[in-house]
Structure 1
């Protein structure tokens, strides 16, 4: 492939860098997904930012790809904290399917001349002055005073905000937030809340007010010294003993009983926590040498955590599939460039070397902070004793699975999240499916936890269906008795690949889903199994699944090369040896 890229428009003003990129990729080997990223680097940090691009392939005279895109970079928030450096380099990265090409050549229009930005070979050199945060520094004592005073003023102006909101829902003026789906009273309240938050940085929501309280508690506590042997395990969800957090918690405890292990694992959001609980968590974070997470912990990212504390993220997912985090800037569910979400992670452990760049991008952290040491919860897939126990447990619980060909149907949800999640159950006619398959086929239904609607089927098929709707069966455990997985956009495919389970991808809404949700790769080149669009095609693929099973070895090697049954020990040793062994000894 030969990239021919040009930056034909560039403006730097008021802390923003506006770039427009266009070009052609000549001599392409195949049609695949194209992504362009900006890579900002200086001697202390680096950051990847995705460029929103459009592209199209042309087949004559040879396969090529025309592309164009643009991005407005909020320069003061490219790096997590303000740092001293002379200049920063900006290069381009090209992602072509699963291939990443660093430092691709590009030209800059000869008429572009910006003070503070020097064009060199395949590189923009940007002086440090353009990254300085001159405005909107949302931290410090005086900013807090401003917030309180402006919030009081907004409260006094509530009658005017109410009139403003009524005009908005009538269509006279713009309604905010612009993507809000609320109507009636809820729309009015959200509009007023939006206005107040835009002015003061505070809102009337319990979540925002309690987050502010949490931040104040932390800022008061962070003057306290770090307790050198304290490690905090922090989660707002309850995970079982096989989960990442508890595996590391228990394994570390076997190494050294002189460390102070604090496990704060409560199934409560910040709005559900009491003020005492918020104060306690803030105190633990401020005084812990290491804080270990297993998922997004929202209120943590309202803080600038002091440098003596190390934040470690044991991200719950394997591989890289659906886009999230900073990859989705400017899209539904995406974060703003000045967001602190995920930015405080000092270490993130992932399932493979090839996806370190994806997590660097999506969390907005340097790639050196992402290490392919594995995912602890996957160790069970290499434990023969555990496999035998799980199989026996499940077959005793569901005797109709014994000596059968077991299909696990595990789709993901549709909708924006927990509140409106659903699956179009009419797309899977269980009666027709089971009637079309031999009698020795049994299907396990495992819906996403967000989905509340149930599949229906005739009573005569009850001995051939295991519906886990009312149970809490771990989907990973179900894989031990699965002969064939049917899914769509679920990340369970990574765990299934570890078991080398044949897969079929039933994606009747592929085009719509990709447009609204998107993934990191071209779906058809990415998935390790056939893609089907209707139920008749699904039935045909089920009947030949074993004979036509695709080898998932290449898929495993790309996404899961750090998974070998020793992830827990590797991560435990890394944490202990790098942060506690010298101190304890």
Structure 2
């Protein structure tokens, strides 16, 4: 049995859809890609958007499974002790705000240099904030050493644990924003090169029109959002709620159970536990709650 679990929810173009973007397409063997897709028996999805994208980006005879991503179960099953333990392993004191900065990569970029000036950002945010910097897996980490109060967690084995330990996520166009949304914690999008990214990489929807939180177009805006409290204000919560309703469809903490029962035990779809409504789901407590 070949079960394709995928890697997050797609914002940027994937599979055959990359053919329209030369900067990406020249590095892809599309015949080999279709050969691999032909091996798939099942394709998992976390939301209807992903299901639609997978079917036209990776055409094949596989069965689509709208059962959620097992990797996201932890966001619904972890408790306060797990959050405290994750922060302790990273050395984050209970009274510090931990911001996880996790951008995606840029095609053709051989070494990764964080787009915001992290030294200036850390200084402006003050001693009560720790920046956790997670480079994309295609790179080994930042090209240059990071300043004080900025912790390089690129080599950390679990991005899920980093998410549990953090108070908020800062990202650009990484699919981590979709997974992180399951925690119902603040997200800030740093979209300083949005137009260039759209033109060269291609995207499936306008993130700036439907973001999971406030959007900063330059470092000044990013700093203001993080210093003023806007990162966790009422507007941020409203944006996150709309985003979660659109993309957190099938994940409720029981995705692994559904997948095992459907794929490996052969149970019919109607025998599987129904997905809980968004309002009825339990999520891991935020750090402030975990220490409360």
TM bucket, shorter chain: 0.7 to 0.9
1:336 is displaced (CA, Å) by 5.4
Q: Cα distance 1:403–1:373, how it changes in 2: closer, same or farther (>3 A)?
A: same
The unaligned stretches of length 5 or more in structure 2 are 269-292
Alignment-derived partner of residue 4 in structure 2: 313
Partner residue of 1:504 out of 185, 188, 194 = 188
Larger Rg: 1
Partner residue of 1:324 out of 14, 27, 41 = 14
Bigger shift: 329-338 or 495-504?
329-338
Q: What is the aligned-residue RMSD (CA, Å)?
A: 2.6
1:550 is displaced (CA, Å) by 3.4
Alignment-derived partner of residue 467 in structure 1: 152
Structure having greater relative contact order (Cα 8 Å, sep ≥ 6): 2
Q: Cα distance 1:384–1:336, how it changes in 2: closer, same or farther (>3 A)?
A: closer
1:444 is displaced (CA, Å) by 0.7
TM-score between the two structures when normalised by the length of structure 1: 0.41
* Greater strand share, structure number: 1
Indicate if the aligned counterparts of 1:505 and 1:532 stay in contact, CA closer than 8 A: yes
Counterpart check, 1:517 vs 2:209: no
1:431 is displaced (CA, Å) by 2.6
- After superposition, what is the alpha-carbon deviation per residue over 1:148-182, rounded to whole angstroms, capped at 9, x for unaligned? xxxxxxxxxxxxxxxxxxxxxxxxxxxxxxxxxxx
Alignment-derived partner of residue 546 in structure 1: 232
Q: Cα distance 1:354–1:399, how it changes in 2: closer, same or farther (>3 A)?
A: closer
Q: Cα distance 1:415–1:576, how it changes in 2: closer, same or farther (>3 A)?
A: closer
1:545 is displaced (CA, Å) by 0.9
1:523 is displaced (CA, Å) by 2.4
Indicate if the aligned counterparts of 2:92 and 2:98 stay in contact, CA closer than 8 A: no
3-state SS in 2 of match to 1:528:
coil
The CA distance in 2 between the partners of 1:435 and 1:575, in whole Å, is 51
TM-score between the two structures when normalised by the length of structure 2: 0.79
1:457 is displaced (CA, Å) by 5.0
Which structure 1 residue ranges, 4+ long, deviate > 6 Å from structure 2? none
1:506 is displaced (CA, Å) by 1.2
- After superposition, what is the alpha-carbon deviation per residue over 1:238-261, rounded to whole angstroms, capped at 9, x for unaligned? xxxxxxxxxxxxxxxxxxxxxxxx
Partner residue of 1:424 out of 107, 110, 113 = 113
Q: Cα distance 1:574–1:400, how it changes in 2: closer, same or farther (>3 A)?
A: closer
The unaligned stretches of length 5 or more in structure 1 are 1-290, 293-311, 581-585
Indicate if the aligned counterparts of 2:111 and 2:143 stay in contact, CA closer than 8 A: no
Partner residue of 1:481 out of 160, 165, 184 = 165
1:564 is displaced (CA, Å) by 0.7
- After superposition, what is the alpha-carbon deviation per residue over 1:93-145, rounded to whole angstroms, capped at 9, x for unaligned? xxxxxxxxxxxxxxxxxxxxxxxxxxxxxxxxxxxxxxxxxxxxxxxxxxxxx
Alignment-derived partner of residue 527 in structure 1: 211
Alignment-derived partner of residue 569 in structure 1: 257
Q: Cα distance 1:400–1:392, how it changes in 2: closer, same or farther (>3 A)?
A: closer
Alignment-derived partner of residue 440 in structure 1: 128
Alignment-derived partner of residue 71 in structure 2: 377
3-state SS in 2 of match to 1:370:
strand
> Where in structure 2 are the equivalents of 1:143-158 lying within 5 Å?
none
Q: How many residues align?
A: 258
Alignment-derived partner of residue 94 in structure 2: 402
Counterpart check, 1:350 vs 2:42: no
The CA distance in 2 between the partners of 1:344 and 1:473, in whole Å, is 28
The CA distance in 1 between the partners of 2:185 and 2:33, in whole Å, is 42
- After superposition, what is the alpha-carbon deviation per residue over 1:536-557, rounded to whole angstroms, capped at 9, x for unaligned? 1110011221124233233223
1:338 is displaced (CA, Å) by 10
Counterpart check, 1:392 vs 2:84: yes
Indicate if the aligned counterparts of 2:34 and 2:58 stay in contact, CA closer than 8 A: no
> Where in structure 2 are the equivalents of 1:108-507 lying within 5 Å?
291-292=1-2, 312-315=3-6, 317-331=7-21, 332-333=24-25, 335=30, 339-365=34-60, 369-385=63-79, 388-389=81-82, 391-416=83-108, 420-425=109-114, 427-452=115-140, 453-458=142-147, 462=148, 464-469=149-154, 471-507=155-191
Indicate if the aligned counterparts of 2:122 and 2:150 stay in contact, CA closer than 8 A: no
The CA distance in 2 between the partners of 1:479 and 1:575, in whole Å, is 29
1:319 is displaced (CA, Å) by 2.3
1:516 is displaced (CA, Å) by 1.2
3-state SS in 2 of match to 1:329:
helix
- After superposition, what is the alpha-carbon deviation per residue over 1:441-461, rounded to whole angstroms, capped at 9, x for unaligned? 111111112224345455xxx
> Where in structure 2 are the equivalents of 1:71-86 lying within 5 Å?
none
- After superposition, what is the alpha-carbon deviation per residue over 1:451-504, rounded to whole angstroms, capped at 9, x for unaligned? 24345455xxx3x222224x4241111111211211101110011100112111
The CA distance in 1 between the partners of 2:93 and 2:59, in whole Å, is 45
Indicate if the aligned counterparts of 1:413 and 1:421 stay in contact, CA closer than 8 A: no
1:337 is displaced (CA, Å) by 11
Indicate if the aligned counterparts of 1:329 and 1:336 stay in contact, CA closer than 8 A: no
The CA distance in 1 between the partners of 2:135 and 2:33, in whole Å, is 36
Indicate if the aligned counterparts of 1:320 and 1:559 stay in contact, CA closer than 8 A: no
